[in-house]
Amino acid sequence: MSKTVIITGASRGIGRETALAFAGIGCSVAINYNSSEEAAIGLLEELRRIGAQSIAIKADVSDRRQVDEMFGIVNEQLGSVDVLINNAGISQQKLFTDVTEQEWDRMFGVNVKGVFNCCQAALGAMIPRHSGSIINISSMWGQVGASCEVHYSAAKAAVIGLTRALAKEVGPSGVRVNCIAPGVIDTDMCACLRDEDIKALRNETPLGRIGRTSDIAAAALFLASEDAGFITGQVLGVNGGMVI
């Protein structure tokens, strides 16, 4: 697969692993970051060491102007985007009654408006070419909800709804839109969990382990490939059987 891929929130965790996976099969990779510049530059150097054509771009995906500028840079330096992976996201554990309006708006700004901004920016080139793949990263909590993560669950549920509706709208233009709903994955987002919480989640997972970032990267590779050429509007749960 020799394509141009842009991955938002790519400096760490799932995004980082996915960038390495796509670079490993010969893709040109644009890695987006907002605050983790040092990690993004480190990833960029690693991608270039393995021979990948890659660039790193700082942009807050909730800001449309920054997103448009980012896509302009990618188009100029790597070519039109073939695969968009909307991975950038934030989370927070907090009682619903304590969530502030600002926290709610920021949660939806990054996790939902960011997907909206990037999808619109990518579709401007994908629709005329009659090809392209968009992969949105949601969460199993967007499917079933999580206590003390109401705003996060609601935002991730919105991503699922956006995916399904957009797939129907742009399917006739040859663009596929799918969603990955990860389960509990070993990333920085789990850093706030206690060891006993991780153990409990592992025990609740039928496959008996916590997910790896490579599990999500492999799912993204599949959905972007020609092997998934007749798959669109789907939510692929990568959760070890925790949500069926």
Residues assigned a catalytic role: 152
191's CB contacts (< 8 A; 6+ apart) are none
C-alpha separations of 79 from 7, 29, 51 in Å = 15, 10, 17
| 3-state DSSP of 110-146 | HHHHHHHHHHHHHHHHHHHHCCEEEEEECCCHHHHCC
What ranges make up the beta strands (E) of the chain? 4-7, 28-33, 54-58, 83-86, 132-137, 175-182, 235-238
Q: How far apart (Å, rounded) are the C-alpha atoms in residues 83 and 71?
A: 12
